[in-house]
Structure 1
Amino acid sequence: MSDGWFKTTVGEYSPFVYGKAIKKDDQRTMGIPVYGSNGIYTYSDSALVQQHAVIIGRKGSVGKVHLSAEKCWISDTAFYVIKDSLDESYFVYYLLSSLGLENMNTDAAVPGLNRDNAHRLEIKIPNSIEKRINLVEPLIKLDQKIHLNNQINQTLESIAQAIFKSWFVDFEPVRAKIAAKQAGQDPELAAMCVISGKSEAELKQMAKEDFAELQATAALFPDELVESELGEVPKGWELQQIKDIAKYCTNKISLKDLTLENYISTENMLPEKKGIEKASSLPKANSVPAFRKGNILVSNIRPYFKKIWLSSFDGGHSNDVLNFEVLEKETEEYLYNLIYRDSFFDQMMASSKGSKMPRGDKKAIMDFQTVTSSVTLRKLYSKKVRKFYSQQNSIEIENQILTSLGDTLLPKLLSGEVEVSDLQGEVT
């Protein structure tokens, strides 16, 4: 074509290759990501593809497109495409994302993407690889910003978890008090150092109000450990079950009040504790279970996927999602971080039913034992980390705006309607 573009088909430009079954799905801690139709779902110790790859959902999330910038394994629920350079793989990723492959379900009992139909799709692409790469540069920048935001959110999550572990798992303030008593030192001051991460000299430089607040926090921790069924625990803390601090919600929400933005199912909950994404479809039932802001949602199918989300708005969820609500208000972040731990999901798997599609036992989950501090300390912890989750929500809103901008630009750039030069200064 005279304008520097030419017509071809998907099959001629980027033929789809079948992925292969992964037999090592019990090796989820290994370093090679395993992609299925819905993205990374486990890890392996070997790779099918030794370089970057574009992954296309074949079964399950039909037509969903992913990009791996590193070596990976692609399961038999997906196709993949290989290009010589990562830069051109980016172009293929955005190109395939624009074709509506998710709407190309077959009529089989198990819907899937028909490779021959996908290969016949006509496309128009720039003649030169340089122009193809330049074309998607604004989209790459948007995705890089989204990726950076996700890293910030993960850091905030890690900080909240580190504080939880220090206070409620390792009992570091309690142990600091015990060690100080044995050394003839000030137990409260020792606990304050552990809680704040500051030295005694630095504590003396704190503002009076901040020092008093830290001192009040340290006073909530005992200075003794006692034996229990779960090992040594702080004196005065209780051995309780999940049902003593939380309950399952039973409210309902009408289908007319649901949107793709406020409906949560196991399909749009992300594995490895990465939250949620926009739903691809709504249920057909007249009503579904409801959740409210501050509830904790956990996928009850294949608990080893570790799908969990602290809700930041009201909505509805599928029956395969567990919905936890705290019995004591203002302790939502405490419960979320308790359930967020790997040990919780390990217990879910241990008590699950079914082999091919294990599901957590709802009653057994509520019977899980844990050691709990005073409600006052749980509320204080929740208040302390709440600002992290508020910041996370703001970042997620920004990501939604960036994603929407990318979705708008994608077809315009790939059709030639908008030139990269037209966007100078608009995408940074």
Structure 2
Amino acid sequence: MGPFGSNIKVDSFVDEGVPVLNGSNLEGFELTEKSFRYVTEEKADSLKKANAHKGDVVITHRGTLGQIVYIPQTAKKDRYVISQSQFRIKCNENVLPEYFVYYFHTPIGQRKLLSNASQVGVPALARPSSTFQKIKIELPDLETQKKVVKLIGSLQNRIKTNSEINDNLEQQLREIFAELFSEKIADVETYNHLPLGELVTSIDNRGKTPPLVTTPTEFPVIDVRALSGNSRIVDYTKCTKYVSAETYSSWFRSGHPKPKDILISTVGSLAEIKIFLGSKGCIAQNVVGFRVKNISAYYLYQYLSAIKNELVSYNIGSVQPSIKVTHIIKHPVYVPTKEEVETFDALAEKTTNIIYNNALESDCLANLRDTLLPKLISGEIDVSDIDL
């Protein structure tokens, strides 16, 4: 089990050291090495039971339930400290940690994992360690496990590669943007700045939850979860609500985003910013869209991303964080010259198209993975004759 909160206080964190895991590190199948906080080697030593190593499996028992990942042998660090909302296990010689994690990402595995979950207050698993050890799972021989891991791993590796390429391209664009515009953005008095509201048109839904359907459709409701993450692209894999074609055409008036609209979360996790490049979708009441009219969409996306902390500072929520659109649209924006926009857009558009195509490929591969995985785990697809 992870340490009690009193064992890791705010003053325990340092700039470098042993990473402390949080929920964002447990998204997917293997450990995601982003957004870490760190403690010293000495502090990690004092939390020995909360140390996780390569090959270990880490599971969330409070908060975002259903998360389970393995720490790969290629992990950047030799050890990590799990949070108070997580617990770790080590697989024995009869099961591969990758296969073990894959099992619990299938529908039957998730049902077993969440069978003792309580939704009263903060979602949590009751007696997580002891209850988890009592779960019975069906295990094939190690040779079959290796083949399943290799098949799914090949898809995972391509998805991971696409993500790394996109992260690198995003970083390059941020650096180019900063080099071209940071000085002029900071100097409001010398250079031409206008309120954001003069450069965009706001789009949103009616402020209420639309009629939803239980079966996924081609009309996803884009909320704050779909805007989280590093990529500039809306993550449609995180869309969990959908509307029918009839609702899409009749219920929404101005809540249909169009390509190159900028979407910003205004409730909960504030100022998550994405550029919309899809064809269909509608925005939830915790998201607002900006449609550019006198400025470049690629420029504005980078600009708003660069001043995210300033947008978050407009928070007026006492219980749940929230920001008002009326506050955001008053923020001054440096208006670049035509020549500056043309220089930046020529690169930004080409790069964004690559990022988008990589994201689309990853979505397709993820759908294929999620279709194959339960069939491989259940034995519906026989891998015994596959030569890998």
**TM category, shorter:** 0.7 to 0.9
Equivalents in 2 of 1:25, 1:271: separation in Å? 27
Equivalent residue, structure 2, for 1:262: 220
2: CA distance, partners of 1:68 / 1:360: 37
Q: Contact 1:334–1:379 (CA<8 Å) still a contact in 2? A: no
d(CA) in 2 for partners of 1:284, 1:256: 5
Q: CA deviation at 1:338?
A: 0.9
1:338 matched residue in structure 2: 303
Q: Normalized against structure 2, the TM-score is what?
A: 0.73
Distance 1:307 1:319 in 2: 14
How far the C-alpha of 1:421 sits from its partner, in A, is 5.4
Query: Among 151, 167, 177, which residue is 1:164 paired with?
Result: 177
- The alignment yields a C-alpha RMSD, in angstroms, of 3.9
Distance 1:28 1:355 in 2: 29
Aligned to 2:139, what secondary structure does the other structure show? Answer: strand
What count of residue pairs does the alignment treat as equivalent?
344
1:134 CA displacement = 4.4
Give, in angstroms, the shift of residue 72 of structure 1: 3.3
Question: Does the 8 Å contact 1:56/1:80 carry over to 2?
Answer: yes
8 Å contact 2:22–2:83 — kept in the other structure?
yes
Q: Structure 1 residues 72, 317: closer, same or farther in 2, change over 3 A? A: farther
Displacement, 1:386? Answer: 0.8
Distance in structure 2 (CA, Å) of the matches to 1:398 and 1:19: 39
> Is the 2:13–2:38 Cα contact (8 Å) retained in structure 1?
yes
Paired with 1:316 and 1:26, the residues of 2 have a C-alpha distance of 43
> What is the match of residue 147 of structure 1?
160
Identity %: 20
Q: How does 1:131-280 map to 2 (within 5 A)?
A: 132-170=145-183, 230=187, 237-250=191-204, 255=211, 259=217, 262-273=220-231, 275=233, 276-279=235-238
CA contact (8 A) 2:257 2:283 kept: yes
Q: Equivalent of 2:285, from 319, 322, 327?
A: 319
- Retained in 2: the 8 A contact 1:348–1:361? no
Question: 1:395 and 1:267 mapped to 2: Cα distance?
Answer: 20
Corresponding residue SS for 1:312: coil
Q: Does structure 1 residue 282 correspond to structure 2 residue 241?
A: yes
Displacement after TM superposition at 1:109 (Å): 4.5
CA distance in 2, matches of 1:345, 1:154: 18
> Residue 143 and residue 347 in structure 1: after superposition, are their counterparts in 2 closer, same or farther (change >3 A)?
same
Per the normalisation by structure 1, the TM-score is: 0.67
Which SS does the other structure have where 2:277 is aligned? coil
Question: Would you say 1:82 and 2:86 are equivalent positions?
Answer: no
What is the match of residue 58 of structure 1? Answer: 61
Q: Is the 8 A contact 2:68 2:101 kept in 1?
A: yes
In the alignment, which of 260, 266, 271 is matched to residue 294 of structure 1? 260
Q: Match of 1:282, SS?
A: coil
| Map of 1:197 onto structure 2 | none
Q: Is residue 384 of structure 1 aligned with residue 347 of structure 2?
A: yes
Mark the CA change 1:75 to 1:247 in structure 2 (over 3 Å): closer, same or farther.
farther
Aligned CA distance change for structure 1 residues 76 and 156 (closer, same or farther; 3 Å): same
**Is the 1:333–1:386 contact (alpha carbons within 8 Å) kept by the matching residues of 2?**
yes
CA contact (8 A) 2:205 2:284 kept: no
Q: Give the whole-Å Cα distance in 1 for the aligned partners of 2:13 and 2:258.
A: 36
The match for 2:328 is 365
In 1, Cα distance between the equivalents of 2:9 and 2:20? Answer: 14
Aligned to 1:405: 368
SS at match of 1:72: strand
For residues 372-407 of structure 1, the C-alpha deviation after alignment (integer angstroms, 9 at most, x for no partner) is: 212563355324311111111211121122112222
1:278 aligns to what SS in structure 2? helix
Structure 1 partner of 2:120: 108
Determine if contact 1:54/1:80 at 8 Å carries over to the other structure: yes
Distance 2:35 2:11 in 1: 7
Secondary structure, counterpart of 1:45 in structure 2: strand
Compute the displacement of 1:145 (Å).
1.2
Aligned to 2:311, which of 322, 343, 348?
348
Moved more, 347-356 or 25-34: 25-34
**Residue 358 (structure 1) shift:** 2.8
Contact 1:58–1:112 (Cα < 8 Å) also in 2: yes
Deviation at 1:103, TM superposition (A): 6.5
Asked whether the equivalents of residues 149 and 399 of structure 1 are also in contact (C-alpha less than 8 Å), the reply is: yes
Contact preservation (8 Å) 1:251, 1:291: no
Q: What is the aligned partner in structure 1 of residue 140 from structure 2? A: 126
Counterpart-to-counterpart distance in 2, 1:60 and 1:260: 29
Q: Given that residues 219 and 282 in structure 2 are in contact (C-alpha distance below 8 angstroms), is that contact kept between their aligned partners in structure 1?
A: no
Task: For residue 266 of structure 1, report the CA deviation from its aligned partner.
Answer: 1.8
Label 1:293 to 1:255 Cα distance change in 2 as closer, same or farther (>3 A): farther
SS in 1 for 2:118: coil
Aligned-partner Cα distance in 1 for 2:369–2:342: 40
Residue type matched to 1:326 in 2?
Answer: V
* Structure 1 letter corresponding to 2:51: V
Q: Quote the residue 1:43 is aligned against.
A: 36
Give a deviation string over 1:236-257, Cα, whole Å, max 9, x none: x402222232232135696469
Rg larger in structure: 1
Question: Any idea what the Cα deviations from partners look like across 1:208-255, whole Å, max 9, x if unmatched?
Answer: xxxxxxxxxxxxxxxxxxxx982785xxx4022222322321356964
1:261 & 1:90 partners in 2: Cα distance?
Answer: 33
8 Å CA contact 2:264, 2:287 repeated in 1: yes
